[in-house]
């Protein structure tokens, strides 16, 4: 099979080209509203098309909410925004049973759906709500369903959670536990725009310029793309590269012994990445290959998604914090270490 020209799996070439063309149209349409931030736009789109959830960190005013709502419009998905606050209860996001009077005068409990019953949910400032409410998202993110009382309700498909955190104010916040952070496929750092981009933002937002967005995909299209992502070919050595990258981050290597742990991992990491990280590295690499118009994933695709996949899964220790070594630097060293090993 010629990996460079033949469409993967059971998806024929015409379907492959049509879907990749529509993905390109989505990017152009989003560009009508979002200035710059091309890496963030691509990574959020990649997260959606790979069927994952995203966690974004950035100061206020960087268009995080606007990006998510714009994508929802262009992808023709139902959208709900939840402002997480200290007094938010689990039932406020999942829904609750209410007592309703029927036409015949009898009363019965009826489930009133919460804002989680949408295709795309923006969990704004997720770290401002207590752990009990944060935990209500776990089942929804992992199982795509919610349980209220004795009943379980499936969520709409496709379903995505895109959460934001504000890095400035930490007073009164509740840091996400590692188990919940692990549910997010990507952790994205939204940075300030470049000077020319910021000038363009001023021109657009301080004038009477109106923007009309046209939907470019539908929920069914996204489900088809998610299937197509999993059909993208990946060679055995690329899969092993992703697994080796994750295993090299672990401080407890079991039967391999402590001698197999890289020195910088032993020195700076308290805890490494689990198997879900390797799964997301592979899915992310496949999704990126698709966005690039390729039908097979490469080592370069794994490298491109390594930072957003791993940065929230590597727990640095006190020595790293004291020396100013963050997870991004550890990831850089991991990439160098794994590539330098004999194959």
**Over the chain, what HEC string results?**
CCCCCCCCCCCCHHHHHHHHHHHHHHHHHHCCCCCCCHHHHHHHHHHHHCCCCEEEECCCCCCHHHHHHHHHHHCCCCEEEEECCCCCCHHHHHEEEEEEECCCCCEEEEEEECCCCCCEEEEECHHHCCHHHHHHHHHHHHHCEEEECCEEEECCCCCEEEEEECCCCCCCCCCCCHHHHCCCCEEEECCCCCHHHHHHHHHHHCCCCCCCCCCCCCHHHHHHHHHHHHHCEECHHHHHHHHHHHHCCCCCCHHHCHHHCCHHHHHHEEECCCHHHHHHHHHHHHHHHHHCCCCEECHHHHHHHHHHHHCCCCEECHHHHHHCCCHHHHHHHHHHHHHHCCC
Higher pLDDT, residue 62 or 55? 55
Q: What does the pLDDT look like over 262-284, one tens digit per residue?
A: 889 889 898 889 999 999 999 99
Tokens of 86: 């200290």
Tokens of 216: 């470019």
Q: What does the pLDDT look like over 69-113, one tens digit per residue?
A: 899 999 999 999 999 988 888 889 998 888 887 777 788 888 888
Q: What does the pLDDT look like over 192-221, one tens digit per residue?
A: 888 998 898 888 888 877 778 888 888 888
Task: Label residue 12 by pLDDT band (50, 70, 90).
Answer: low
Q: What percent of the chain has pLDDT over 90?
A: 30
- CA distances to 19, 181, 283 from 10, rounded to whole Å, are 14, 34, 18
* CA dist., res. 283 & res. 209, Å (int): 39
On the question of pLDDT at 9 being above 60, the answer is: no
Q: What's this model's pTM, rounded to 2 decimal places? A: 0.86
Average pLDDT over residues 174-198: 87
The pLDDT value recorded for residue 343 is: 61
On the question of pLDDT at 11 being above 60, the answer is: no
The pLDDT value recorded for residue 167 is: 76
The pLDDT value recorded for residue 7 is: 42
Q: Which domains does the chain have, with CATH numbers?
A: 1-231 (3.40.50.300), 233-343 (1.10.8.80)
- Strands 120-124 and 79-83, by their bridges, are parallel
The pLDDT value recorded for residue 172 is: 63
Higher pLDDT, residue 210 or 32? 32
- CA distances to 50, 104, 171 from 82, rounded to whole Å, are 23, 36, 20
On the question of pLDDT at 292 being above 50, the answer is: yes
């Amino acid at each position: 099979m010629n990996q460079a020209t033949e469409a993967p799996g059971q998806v024929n070439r015409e379907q492959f080209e049509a879907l990749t063309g529509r993905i390109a149209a989505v990017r152009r349409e989003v560009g009508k509203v979002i200035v710059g931030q091309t890496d963030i736009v691509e990574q959020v789109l990649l997260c959606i098309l790979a069927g994952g959830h995203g966690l974004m960190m950035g100061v206020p005013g960087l268009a995080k909410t606007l990006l998510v709502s714009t994508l929802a419009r262009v992808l023709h998905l139902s959208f709900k925004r939840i402002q997480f606050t200290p007094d938010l209860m689990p039932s406020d996001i999942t829904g609750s049973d209410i007592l309703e009077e029927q036409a015949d005068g009898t009363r019965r409990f009826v489930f009133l759906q919460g804002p989680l019953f949408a295709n795309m949910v923006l969990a704004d400032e997720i770290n401002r709500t207590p752990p009990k409410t944060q935990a209500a998202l776990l089942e929804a993110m992992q199982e795509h369903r919610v349980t209220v009382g004795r009943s379980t309700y499936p969520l709409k498909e496709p379903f995505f959670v895109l959460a934001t955190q504000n890095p400035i104010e930490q007073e009164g916040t509740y840091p996400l536990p590692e188990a919940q952070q692990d549910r997010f496929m990507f952790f994205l750092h939204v940075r300030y725009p470049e000077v020319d981009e910021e000038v363009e933002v001023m021109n657009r937002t301080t004038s009477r310029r109106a923007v009309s967005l046209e939907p470019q995909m539908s929920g069914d299209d996204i489900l088809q793309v998610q299937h197509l992502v999993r059909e993208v070919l990946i060679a055995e050595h690329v899969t092993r590269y992703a697994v080796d990258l994750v295993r090299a981050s672990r401080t407890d290597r079991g039967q391999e012994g402590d001698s197999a742990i890289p020195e910088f991992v032993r020195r700076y990491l308290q805890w490494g990445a689990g198997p879900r990280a390797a799964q997301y590295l592979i899915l992310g690499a496949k999704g990126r290959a698709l966005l690039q118009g390729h039908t097979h994933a490469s080592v370069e695709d794994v490298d491109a998604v390594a930072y957003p996949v791993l940065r929230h899964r590597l727990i640095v220790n006190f020595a790293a914090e004291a020396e100013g070594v963050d997870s991004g630097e550890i990831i850089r060293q991991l990439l160098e270490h794994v590539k330098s090993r004999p194959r």
